[in-house]
Structure 1
Amino acid sequence: MKMNYREIICLLIFWDLLLNVQHANAQEEILSDSLLIKTDSLRVKKINFNGYPYAFYTPETQLAFGAGGIIVFYTKPSDTILKPSKIGFGGHYSTNNQYKLSVNPALYFNENKLFIRTPISFGVFVDKFWGIGNDTQENGTEQYERETITASFILQSPPILFSASRSGIILEYDKTTITDKKENELLKNDSIVGNKGGELYGIGYDLTWDSRDNIFFPNKGGYQYFKLIIYPEFSDYNFGLLELDVSRYISFKEDHVFAFNLYMSSALGTAPFYKLPALGGQKRMRGYFNGRYRDNFYATLQLEYRQYFWKKFGFVAFGGIGDVSSELITYDFSTVKYSIGGGLRYLFNKKQKINLRMDIAVGRDGNTGIYFGLEEAF
């Protein structure tokens, strides 16, 4: 497998600098938060369940109807430092005949020293592929259909060699079948890697540095995540994916928060088109169809202001820039895309600060999106 090691080295150096700059403040914040938590003798011991039906519209699904929920609990209520665990689940069906079922357990154990996540999903999607690059054009024939099964096992514990909060292993399974290429001439061309789908088995390593005071609605602290995953030769495609996700939260008043996020992703080797870093979606560069632009390297920066303005109701305003390129050193700021928007929030779990969110975003060239879901984008 041919990998661009310059990209690995550059991102690792950048990661190390971020950790060193924020490490001192982080330790002070963690200590302060831990002492406050230890004095809280009113920790809720019961399981907290929130379920809801919903309807939403996104560029990817069009109008969709579904139901979902989140179960919040502590794996050991007597552990006063422990963060709440959660099991999110949901399913929806859309007017363009696609559906998705998913469950995403995220469990904390032993004073947050052990973290396990096992997301599983199955879906049939009406997707779009415009080609590869940052200047692909609309021609009305981008649509195709795929069926995807994904399952991951992520186990994290305190690292031995790094200063992060947790590190661990990743096992991943992904089976994608292109069920109907429709009129997409690009996918009818065998030069597009992955035009028939494929089966992938991945193994990887990740690092997490987390000093957020709340995992659902942070007022202060930071979150950094680094991941390297390799799909070996016994997969249908032999390549790697590198990912860096950095967030910082600053509050000048309780529940008045400035949130910053930097995200970078890089494909190492020859990846199938549907696994290439993709611009757009509900979390980053809102307003663009998820995958509107794809290439081997993707970087985006976003800023968001969050505030509750009346009882359980709040609002956000956000903006971001980002783009894809063939590799890190060819990233071209002259072609960068923008995303701006805002949204409303409803606090339906006050103790854990879990929000129901609705965002509206616009991007370049008339791209728009409306999004509905649980928790913040980052």
Structure 2
Amino acid sequence: MRKAGREFTIRDVARSAEVAVGTVSRVLNDHPSVTRDVRERVQRAITSLGYERNAVAQSMRSARTHMIACAIRDFDIPGYVSYVKEAERIFRAADYTFLLASTANDKAVELSLLRKFAQRRVDGVMMTISDESDPELIAAVEQAKMPLVLIDREMIQSVDRVAADHRSGARQATDYLLSLGHRRIALFVGDPHAHPSRSRIEGYGDAFRAAGLEPDPAMIRDHSLSNEFTFRETSALMQRPDPPTAIFVAGIDMLAGAMRALKAAGLAIGRDVSVVSGGDSDLAELSTPAITALQWDRAQMGRHAAQMLLDRVTGRTTEPPRCVRVPVSLVVRESCRPPQ
């Protein structure tokens, strides 16, 4: 039996099982050449001694740590749980430890995390970045010492990317509002330096121009993703002489701010102002009236990102960097009506 304080080695296991050290190594790595009888004998010795593989030493020999890092903007973004859970499930099945971090959409944090991930020799990274056009962030991503997949980002084409088709989604949402007769449609997005916001602004403009119209720049608010910003700007817009008759809250976590502002102004969603959410959530579905929302399969995004990263980490692919786009669709509910 295992002695207190004693750390047994692979040589101890080999001696106990009366096999060579190389045979023990093949058993530990599940090599098919080992016979069933020998495999069982080695497993009994491992159990008897309480032997555990030294992960640090193993990673030094193999230059792999079997750790994957994931860094996202915030942990409480609606829907991101399914993305993270699905990615973690795939990595766990492949015997990788999954590390999760938050960037707060802060460039300094993103750069720091990339350095720390490299220092800890993680095998691969999945992450979002705040500004796809920033030279320092671009350089950090392109010079990363490990395979990297960008989440919902498209501009940096030297690495793999997985992104929702936000331009198509915004086009669908705006087309729908225009078809109801709305012309003053407010658009709330985050910083256009990131793919989701930039693509939503493009899709919004596509819909207006396809209808032979030009969007009013004063109706586009693109400075922040916070609910405080959305509350303040919604309140300001509704006090204009020509307030919007519809609001497209394109940022996935901005809906609550717009809803609070409309309630404070005594306006009813659906009756007084039509509302579309740029991402489906429990809040959108369970509100009264239920909010029309854009929807995409975030679990599918997690699967794509995890598999692409595993292909790079394990060397299963040496193809040029790829971009997978996940389709976005509009779920029509009760929050939109023709303008009064």
TM-score range, shorter chain: under 0.3
Structure number having the greater helix percentage = 2
TM-score of the two chains, using structure 1 as the length reference: 0.24
Structure number having the greater strand percentage = 1
Query: For the pair shown, which has the larger CA radius of gyration, 1 or 2?
Result: 2
Higher relative contact order (CA 8 A, sep 6+): 2
TM-score of the two chains, using structure 2 as the length reference: 0.26
